[in-house]
C-alpha cells in the first residue's frame, strides 16, 4: 500500500512539473540575447562543437559576452551530453553560431524533457530515499513529507518555467544524496556526492561549511589522533579524487584553471544584481552602497558579514555534530550566504529552500512559511517570464496541501516551533515570559495576506511612472525582512537544540 501511495505522489509531482513546462520560459522571443533558456541551449552548442580547452575562453566562435559558460565542469559535461542528443535529433538546434536564438515547439519540448530526465534520475530518487529514511515517524507522515517536498513551487517554477542557467534539480539532488549518505554513516560517499554538487554549481558553496564542520566534528569526536584521523584522511582522499576527476581536462594548463575560476567567480559584476531579497539590495534603497563604497570594500564587507553570520552555527555543529544540527546549520549557513554574500541572485534562495524542505515534518509552520516566502521573493522574475498563472496555481496547491495534511497553521506552541529550550532560558530571568500562540498565528496570517496583496497589486496596477521599480523593491524588501526573521529563528533553534548525540541510520 505504501509503495502505491509513493508512486501516486511521484506521478502527481511529475504531472505538475510537466504542466508548468507548458508555460513560457525566460527570454522567449526577446532578441538579441534572449534569456536563461538560450544560455542553456548555447552551452550545448559550444560544448558539442568546440574542443574542451576552448569552452571557457573568448573567441570568434565563443563570444563570452553572449551567455558564456560560467559554471563548473560538471555543468559543461551535462551540456555536452544534452548537446549530443540534440544534434542527433536536429543538428540545427546546436549548429555553431547560426543556432543563436533558436526557438521552436519541438526544441522547447526537448529542453523541458532534459529537465524532467535530470529530475527523475537525480533529485526525485534522493527525495524518495530521504523520506524513506525518516525514523520515529509513521508511513503516513513520510508520505506527507514526500508530497510537500516534491510540490515545493519555487524549484518547479524556476526549473520548469523560468528555465534557470543550470538544472537546479541536479545540484540540489546531488547535495541531498550527500545529506542522505551522511545520515547513514557513509561519510566518504556523502563527501563524494557533495563534491559532485559543488562541481556542478559553484553556489553549492552555500552548503559547504556545514558539510565540512559536521565531518570535522565527527573526526574530532572519534579522536583526531586515532580513528578520527583515518576518517579525515579517507574524506580528504575522496575530495581530492572527486575534484581531480571533474577537472581532468583542465589540469594540463595553469591558464585553463585560472580562466575557469575567473568565469566561476566574476567579482567584477558588483555586490548584487536586479532586485534580490538580501541585505545589500534592501539597504541600497536608503544608502547607495555601490556608489559609497569601492568594489574592493564591498567585497571585503560582504565577506566579513557572511563569515560572522555563519560562525555560531558552524561552531555549534563542529562541537556537537548531530544530524538534526547538520540540517539546521545547512539552513543557517545558506541563508547567511544569501543575505550577506557577494553577487547573489534571486534564484539562490533555492539553496536555502532545500534544507528547509528537509525540516518540514519537524517544524511544519516555519518551514511552510519560509517556502511560501521564498517563492514569493522570486515573483518579479516570474512576472517577467509570464509565469504568474503557474505561480498562483502551484503556490495555492502547496498551501492547500500543507494546510490540510500537515495542519501547519495549528503548530504554534513552543514545543511545535522547537523554541521551548530557548523560552525556558528566558524564563530563568523573566518568569512571566510565554510565547503567545495567538500572536504567532496573527503574524503568519498578516504575512501571507501581505504577500497575497503585493502579488495582486503587481499584476493589476501599473506602478507610478516616477517609480517603475516600486513593486520589485517592495517585494524584495518584504521578503528580506522575512528572511532576517527566519535567520534569527533557525539560529535560535540550532543554538538551543537539546539533541545531544548523533545516531546512525537515522534522519531526525
Domain limits, the chain: 187-495
Of the candidates 419, 423, 281, the one whose C-alpha atom is nearest the C-alpha of residue 342 is: 281
Residues 205-215 have pLDDT tens digits of 999 999 999 99
Give the confidence band of 288 by pLDDT, cuts at 50, 70, 90.
confident
> Whole-model pTM?
0.94
Q: What pLDDT shows up at residue 136? A: 67
309-312: long-range contacts (C-beta < 8 A, 24 or more apart)?
309/336, 309/339, 309/340, 309/487, 310/209, 310/336, 310/337, 312/491, 312/494, 312/495
Residues 332-374 have pLDDT tens digits of 999 999 999 988 889 999 999 999 999 998 999 999 999 999 9
Residues 45-87 have pLDDT tens digits of 999 999 999 999 999 999 999 999 999 999 999 999 999 999 9
The neighbour count for residue 97, using CB atoms within 10 Å, is: 12
- CA–CA dist 199, 73 (Å, integer): 6
Of the candidates 128, 161, 109, the one whose C-alpha atom is nearest the C-alpha of residue 8 is: 128
Asked if 275 contacts 265 with a C-beta cutoff of 8 angstroms, the reply is no
Give the confidence band of 178 by pLDDT, cuts at 50, 70, 90.
very high
First to last CA, the chain: 24
Amino acid at each position: 500500500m505504501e509503495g502505491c501511495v509513493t508512486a501516486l505522489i511521484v506521478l502527481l509531482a511529475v504531472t505538475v512539473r510537466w504542466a508548468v513546462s507548458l508555460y513560457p520560459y525566460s527570454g522567449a522571443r526577446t532578441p538579441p540575447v534572449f534569456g536563461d533558456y538560450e544560455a542553456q541551449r548555447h552551452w550545448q552548442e559550444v560544448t558539442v562543437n568546440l574542443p574542451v580547452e576552448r569552452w571557457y575562453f573568448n573567441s570568434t566562435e565563443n563570444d563570452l559576452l553572449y551567455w558564456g559558460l560560467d559554471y563548473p565542469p560538471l555543468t559543461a559535461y551535462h551540456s555536452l551530453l544534452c548537446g549530443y542528443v540534440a544534434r542527433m535529433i536536429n543538428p540545427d538546434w546546436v549548429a555553431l553560431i547560426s543556432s543563436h536564438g533558436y526557438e521552436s515547439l519541438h526544441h522547447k519540448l526537448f529542453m523541458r524533457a532534459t529537465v524532467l530526465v535530470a529530475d527523475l534520475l537525480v533529485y526525485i530518487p534522493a527525495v524518495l530515499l530521504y523520506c524513506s529514511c525518516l525514523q520515529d515517524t509513521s508511513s503516513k507522515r513520510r508520505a506527507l513529507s514526500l508530497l510537500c517536498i516534491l510540490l515545493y513551487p519555487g524549484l518547479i517554477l524556476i526549473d520548469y518555467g523560468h528555465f534557470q542557467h543550470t538544472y537546479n534539480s541536479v545540484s540540489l539532488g546531488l547535495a541531498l544524496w550527500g545529506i542522505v549518505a551522511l545520515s547513514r554513516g557513509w561519510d566518504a560517499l556523502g563527501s563524494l556526492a557533495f563534491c559532485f554538487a559543488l562541481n556542478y554549481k559553484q553556489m553549492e558553496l552555500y552548503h559547504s561549511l556545514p558539510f565540512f564542520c559536521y565531518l570535522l566534528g565527527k573526526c574530532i569526536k572519534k579522536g583526531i589522533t586515532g580513528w578520527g584521523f583515518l576518517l579525515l584522511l579517507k574524506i580528504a582522499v575522496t575530495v581530492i579524487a572527486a575534484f581531480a576527476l571533474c577537472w581532468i581536462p583542465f589540469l594540463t594548463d595553469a591558464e585553463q584553471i585560472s580562466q575557469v575560476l575567473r568565469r566561476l567567480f566574476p567579482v567584477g559584476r558588483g555586490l548584487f544584481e536586479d532586485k534580490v531579497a538580501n541585505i545589500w539590495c534592501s539597504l541600497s534603497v536608503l544608502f547607495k552602497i555601490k556608489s559609497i563604497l569601492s568594489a574592493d570594500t564591498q567585497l571585503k564587507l560582504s565577506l566579513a558579514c557572511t563569515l560572522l553570520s555563519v560562525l555560531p552555527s558552524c561552531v555549534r555543529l563542529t562541537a556537537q555534530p548531530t544530524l538534526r544540527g547538520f540540517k539546521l546549520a545547512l539552513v543557517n549557513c545558506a541563508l547567511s550566504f544569501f543575505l550577506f554574500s557577494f553577487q547573489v541572485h534571486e534564484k539562490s534562495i533555492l539553496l536555502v529552500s532545500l534544507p528547509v524542505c528537509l525540516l518540514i515534518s519537524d517544524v511544519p509552520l516555519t518551514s511552510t512559511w519560509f517556502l511560501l516566502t521564498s517563492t514569493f521573493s522570486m515573483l518579479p522574475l516570474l512576472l517577467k517570464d509570464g509565469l504568474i498563472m503557474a505561480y498562483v496555481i502551484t503556490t495555492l496547491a502547496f498551501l492547500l496541501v500543507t494546510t490540510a495534511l500537515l495542519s501547519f497553521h495549528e503548530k504554534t506552541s513552543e514545543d511545535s516551533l522547537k523554541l521551548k529550550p530557548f523560552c525556558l532560558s528566558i524564563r530563568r530571568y523573566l518568569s512571566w515570559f510565554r510565547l503567545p500562540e495567538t500572536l504567532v498565528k496573527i503574524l503568519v496570517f498578516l504575512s501571507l495576506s501581505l504577500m497575497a496583496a503585493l502579488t495582486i497589486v503587481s499584476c493589476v496596477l501599473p506602478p507610478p511612472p516616477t517609480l517603475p521599480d516600486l513593486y520589485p523593491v517592495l517585494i524584495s524588501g518584504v521578503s528580506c525582512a522575512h528572511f532576517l526573521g527566519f535567520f534569527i529563528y533557525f539560529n535560535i533553534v540550532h543554538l538551543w537544540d537539546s539533541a545531544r548525540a548523533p545516531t546512525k541510520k537515522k534522519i531526525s
